Structure 1
Amino acid sequence: MNILLIGYGAMNQRVARLAESAGHKIVAVIPNRQHEDIPYPIVNEISEATEADVAIDFSHPNLLLPLLEQSFHLPLVIATTGEKDTITTKLQSLSEKMSVFFSANMSYGVHVLTKLLEVAVPLLEQYDIELTEAHHNQKVDAPSGTLVKLYDVIEQLRDNVQPVYDRSQLTEKREKNEIGIHSLRGGTIVGEHDVLFAGVDETITLSHSAQSKDIFANGALKAAEKLVHKSPGYYTFDNL
């Protein structure tokens, strides 16, 4: 494939390395800030990357959203988190004329975790649920997009759930409909996500631990390899 990279931070630098080792070619980059060491042609608009077969985005809403308003026709693999509703609404519109893929987490293992969660939540109806995520000390958003994705699964399967982010401000017992959401930041943790089901005298935990950011880059590349052969539409791990 000929690939346009949207953003050239740590993630898309990994995408570039893994893509080239797999025989793909990076034909252009739209950087999210001034870079002096980008070894590829730089463009400002998606339409300028005329040789590209697909675009892979690991960037920021401030870069991505204006680009999506431009006139272009190119399959998109989108991994930007933050402003999820705005991004997915725009992608749904674009999917009428091109193939687009979106995931808040490009790890296939995290996708499997969400499918396990869909099975567990109805079976553990009387259990309290707490969500915890841990990331490196450079991550700026909290909770992570992946944890939001996990919460969305629970919200669809349980009635009237209420996210609670800071119990230190409360002096009352836990309510049944609460979903505790906890974010940890420190060191170089790539990404850890835990879903705790706490019942009477027993607990069950579903857990995913990312040991390298390469899993996200490889996930995006595998999605791109499939997407370039798809007809226009909105794709996720569920239907790709």
Structure 2
Amino acid sequence: MEKIKDLHGKILIADDEVINVNFFQVMLTKLGFSVDVAYDGEEALEKVKTFVPDLILLDLLMPKLSGFQVAEILKKDENTREIPIVVLSAVSDIKDKVDMLELGIEDYITKPFNFVEILARIRNILRAKDLKKEIKQHRWRFLSFSELEKYLGSFLKEAGKQSEELMDSGKKMLDDHSDNETFRLQVVSTAEKLSESINKLAELYSKFTRVVTEKGEDVFNF
């Protein structure tokens, strides 16, 4: 189980109620989070750009821009849509809750607030975010391997084809210079070295694909 003291991340608190802001700021900071605050919707959007939070605690009823408007803007922007939003609201209207959830927010908590519950939800959301990020990284590793495998396969195929063409040309040259023993030995030696190089490449490719198949993404963890 994750220890409370091990919690970390950047949290933006967007709320026009100073008492709420001060409480959450003090508590979350003590637990190890980096915290910034905004007291209206416009300031919240600016802080998202400058502070770049890992999670936003968002009040619904704020001046200038409401929590709904802020969430709508953030969730429609591809640069900010992945930032988790937890709405803290005194309004328990089911329509407001449904509307916010349909926007794509991660959680909606109504008063009276229980800090332990809020902390648990924050922790779970941040852990899910980290897991999602890790999965994406592994996915790209496998895509990169797939592309590399495709490239190596094409390279070996083309190299083999060119090797055969060179061998055919060498045979023709040998036929044309059958009376020249020195030339014949040079052609044979070159052909043997070329064939050996192709075989080594094929062997290396086979070993590489076998290691990745057995160890998965670990082979990329240099």
Q: TM-score range by the shorter chain?
A: 0.3 to 0.5
Q: TM-score, normalised by structure 1?
A: 0.39
Question: Per residue, is there more strand in 1 or in 2?
Answer: 1
Q: Look at both structures and tell me which one has the larger radius of gyration over its CA atoms.
A: 2
Instruction: Between the two structures, name the one with larger relative contact order (CA 8 Å, sep ≥ 6).
Output: 1
Question: Per residue, is there more helix in 1 or in 2?
Answer: 2
